Amino acid sequence: MSRIRLLPEILASQVAAGEVIERPASVVKELVENSIDARARKIEVSVRRGGISLIRVVDDGCGMDRDDALLSLERHATSKIRTADDLAAIATLGFRGEALPSIASVSRFRLTTREADAVAGTEIIVAGGKIETVRDGGEAPGTQIEVRSIFYNLPARRKFLRSENTESRNLEHQLHLQATGHPGIAFAFVRDERVVFQLPPAPSLLDRIRDLHGKELVDRLLAVEERSDAAIQIRGLIGRAGVSRQTRAQQLVFVNGRSVENPVLTAALREGYHTALMKGQFPVTFLFIDLDPAAVDVNVHPAKREVRFRDPNAVREAIVETIRRALESGRREWQQQFRAPVLSGTAGPGPIFSSPAIPPRAESPIPAATGARLPVLDTTEAESLSSPTTLPLRHVAPETPTTSGSRWDNQPEVSSPHSQQFQIIGVLSKLYVLMENQDGLVLVDQHAAHERILFEELRRRMEEQGVPSQRLLLSQTFELAPRDAEWVERNAATLQKMGIGIEPFGPNAFKIDSLPTFLEVSDPVTFMRKVIDGLKSASNGSSAMRLGEEMIAKTVCRHAVKANDPLRYLEVEKLIMDLLQCDLPYCCPHGRPTMIQISLAELEKKFGRKV
């Protein structure tokens, strides 16, 4: 007796819908992708109750004639691929021919469509996969699809829907992805009869991002240098050093125009940012990667959310390199701004670090609206600058601690070898350096600043001759688990460069006889175990240099910096100068900000001078 049978067509579509259509946002994704593939210039999406009661997508694309409209509802019916060769090089967003029949099988569905030159269009009404009506209809050229009561015929699926708010957020995120991926197309989004956004066709990605997220975000982005002649082309915008988010919501990567998730991409972004990103935070990226369609497989996920690269390493390297360069350019830009030849005229007496090129204050009337410019940051965000520098490893211990919150008066004017100018007001709570610049108040976290300076100094030394190390009075031996032992052996050279003298001492046993001079550890063995624990997860697949950086970042904070050390005026000045010479002055090695700007505009708002 045969027990196997073919599924009825509708049931097969419902099964397929299980993969393709998870929630209202998936319907929006599929319909908008179809509109984009139909070369629409304008796409309007309206939803009611988080898309659960209604999703309507209207486009002005190419439309369909009656035969095609009927065919579009058949499973595996598509106009986008014909042969297996087409599948190997897909240029459209859709290709599976599954979306429309899947959606129509789990909802009350209505499609009206008309080609531009046709006398009449077509209207098709479907309920739970069964075609109920086919007739003339459709006024404007293009296609309109309405999806009502999603999963009305599948109560089990319906139960998996989240609250209207959550579904709405998912759906809006999906639209953001599509609108970012296609700045040239006008998008409108209406939720429960209210217009949420209306985006005109934008001349550039930057304009689209500004329309979607506002000017403030745009100011915190850097354009990446385009790789246009390479096999892997990259363009787009990324957050400056220190700009980060708690979720992945603004970590957008498009591969051949398709918004995708892929572990290779995520890891490459992290590596590109490295210490410019706070732990547990996500970068802000709007990156577009274009490569030969044959070099990327998009047919690995039913909802086409994931891709597989033929050469993941090449993709990773291209991204890491692009991000590093962009952060570097941000740093140069920043440095230039800081060196703008400006004067301070608003403040009362106080120290000024002035360029030798600028006449002393007493002799010249000083124009208003001046002071060195720092780009505006907020409490969570920061940016970058650089230039190689030599620094002392430690700041001299203070002899005359300053009082908390005090202002230094009658300080001599200090000429610096750099042409930077800023005015130090004082130190708050023995920790925060207060400075004035053209935009208002700058707060520097002395501790974080010190960490960044030490980090870069140690990294430089590691690259050059190795970190100075100090012999232990008594060398110590210890045993490690086989995997850890293997790790130590593999990374012995890096550990040596880091000033850690460790060598094999029998099977899985080691002897440690020196440590970096700057460390103050009472128990070298415990310290070593911690280092190994912390680093072995980080070291998978990364270079020795990366590993070294990671190690410095991890040890610098805990062992090398004393917080709340009151510094003398000259030391504070030095600290700030040193910080400004760092590669990434705006964040500590863990990505936390070192400086915060509070603009005059913000102060005016707080004091109610301006609303």
94 counts as binding Mg ion under rule CB under 5 A = yes
Q: Which does 124 bind (CB under 5 to 8 A by kind): Mg ion, ligand ADP, none?
A: none
115 counts as binding ligand ADP under rule CB under 6 A = no
| Whether the Cβ atoms of residue 572 and residue 433 lie closer than 8 Å to each other | yes
**How many residues bind to ligand ADP according to rule CB under 6 A?**
22
Nearby residues of 446 by Cβ (< 8 Å), 6 or more positions away: 427, 431, 432, 433, 565, 567, 572, 575
Give the residue, chosen from 42, 80, 511, 530, that forms a contact with ligand ADP under the rule CB under 6 A.
80
Q: Which does 35 bind (CB under 5 to 8 A by kind): ligand ADP, Mg ion, none?
A: ligand ADP
HEC per residue, 24-91:
HHHHHHHHHHHHHHCCCCEEEEEEEHHHCCEEEEEECCCCCCHHHHHHCCCCCCCCCCCCHHHHCCCC
Binding pattern for the stretch 133-162 against ligand ADP, x by CB under 6 A and - elsewhere: ----------x-------------------
99 counts as binding Mg ion under rule CB under 5 A = yes
Minimum CB distance to ligand ADP smaller for 61 or for 242: 61
Q: Which does 386 bind (CB under 5 to 8 A by kind): Mg ion, ligand ADP, none?
A: none
Q: Candidates 94-102, 130-138, 158-166, 169-177 — which segment interacts with Mg ion by CB under 5 A?
A: 94-102
Minimum CB distance to ligand ADP smaller for 39 or for 605: 39
Give the residue, chosen from 13, 35, 105, 256, that forms a contact with ligand ADP under the rule CB under 6 A.
35
Nearest distance from residue 57's CB to ligand ADP, in Å?
Answer: 7
Minimum CB distance to ligand ADP smaller for 100 or for 580: 100
**Other CB atoms within 10 Å distance of the CB of residue 7:** 10
Q: How far is CA 204 from CA 197, 209, 260, 415, in A?
A: 18, 9, 21, 45
Give the residue, chosen from 26, 46, 72, 259, that forms a contact with ligand ADP under the rule CB under 6 A.
72
Minimum CB distance to Mg ion smaller for 77 or for 118: 77
Q: Which long-range contacts (CB under 8 A, 24 or more apart) does 321-326 make?
A: 321/272, 322/224, 322/225, 322/227, 322/234, 322/272, 322/287, 323/224, 323/238, 323/268, 323/269, 323/272, 323/273, 324/272, 325/224, 325/225, 326/222, 326/223, 326/224, 326/225, 326/238
Minimum CB distance to Mg ion smaller for 23 or for 395: 23
Give the residue, chosen from 29, 47, 54, 95, that forms a contact with ligand ADP under the rule CB under 6 A.
95
**How many residues bind to Mg ion according to rule CB under 5 A?**
3
CA distance 298 to 175: 20
Question: In angstroms, how far is CA 222 from the centroid of its own chain?
Answer: 11
Minimum CB distance to ligand ADP smaller for 257 or for 345: 257
38 counts as binding ligand ADP under rule CB under 6 A = yes
Nearest distance from residue 30's CB to ligand ADP, in Å?
Answer: 6
Name the residue type at position 184: G
Q: Candidates 13-21, 27-35, 166-174, 272-280 — which segment interacts with ligand ADP by CB under 6 A?
A: 27-35
Nearest distance from residue 80's CB to Mg ion, in Å?
Answer: 8
Name the residue type at position 404: S
- How does DSSP classify residue 411? P
| Whether the Cβ atoms of residue 315 and residue 381 lie closer than 8 Å to each other | no
End-to-end CA distance of the chain: 81
Residue ranges in 189-208 that form contacts with ligand ADP under rule CB under 6 A: none
94 counts as binding ligand ADP under rule CB under 6 A = yes
**Other CB atoms within 10 Å distance of the CB of residue 106:** 27
Phi-psi region of 573 (alpha: psi -120 to 50; beta: other; left: phi over 0): alpha
Q: Candidates 92-100, 380-388, 511-519, 546-554 — which segment interacts with Mg ion by CB under 5 A?
A: 92-100
Minimum CB distance to ligand ADP smaller for 128 or for 589: 128
CA distance 234 to 224: 8
96 counts as binding ligand ADP under rule CB under 6 A = yes
User: Which two tokens mark 169?
Assistant: 């957020």
Nearest distance from residue 90's CB to Mg ion, in Å?
Answer: 12
- Selection from 191, 182, 186, 217 nearest residue 201 by Cα: 186
299 counts as binding ligand ADP under rule CB under 6 A = no
- Selection from 144, 595, 67 nearest residue 375 by Cα: 595
E strand residue ranges, 192-343: 194-199, 221-223, 233-239, 244-245, 251-255, 258-259, 282-283, 285-290, 296-297, 308-309
Nearest residue to the partner Mg ion, using Cβ: 94
- Selection from 413, 411, 412, 436 nearest residue 423 by Cα: 436
| Whether the Cβ atoms of residue 433 and residue 427 lie closer than 8 Å to each other | yes
79 counts as binding ligand ADP under rule CB under 6 A = yes
Nearby residues of 239 by Cβ (< 8 Å), 6 or more positions away: 220, 221, 222, 250, 283, 284, 285, 381
Binding pattern for the stretch 40-69 against ligand ADP, x by CB under 6 A and - elsewhere: -------------------x-xxxx-----
374 counts as binding ligand ADP under rule CB under 6 A = no
275 counts as binding ligand ADP under rule CB under 6 A = no
178 counts as binding ligand ADP under rule CB under 6 A = no
Nearest residue to the partner ligand ADP, using Cβ: 94
CA distance 285 to 184: 19
Nearest distance from residue 288's CB to ligand ADP, in Å?
Answer: 22
Minimum CB distance to ligand ADP smaller for 79 or for 149: 79
30 counts as binding ligand ADP under rule CB under 6 A = yes
Q: Candidates 99-107, 211-219, 240-248, 337-345 — which segment interacts with Mg ion by CB under 5 A?
A: 99-107
Nearest distance from residue 217's CB to ligand ADP, in Å?
Answer: 31
Nearest distance from residue 172's CB to ligand ADP, in Å?
Answer: 20
Q: Which residues bind ligand ADP (CB under 6 A)?
A: 30, 34-35, 38, 59, 61-64, 72, 77-80, 94-100, 143
By CB under 5 A, name the binding residues for Mg ion: 34, 94, 99
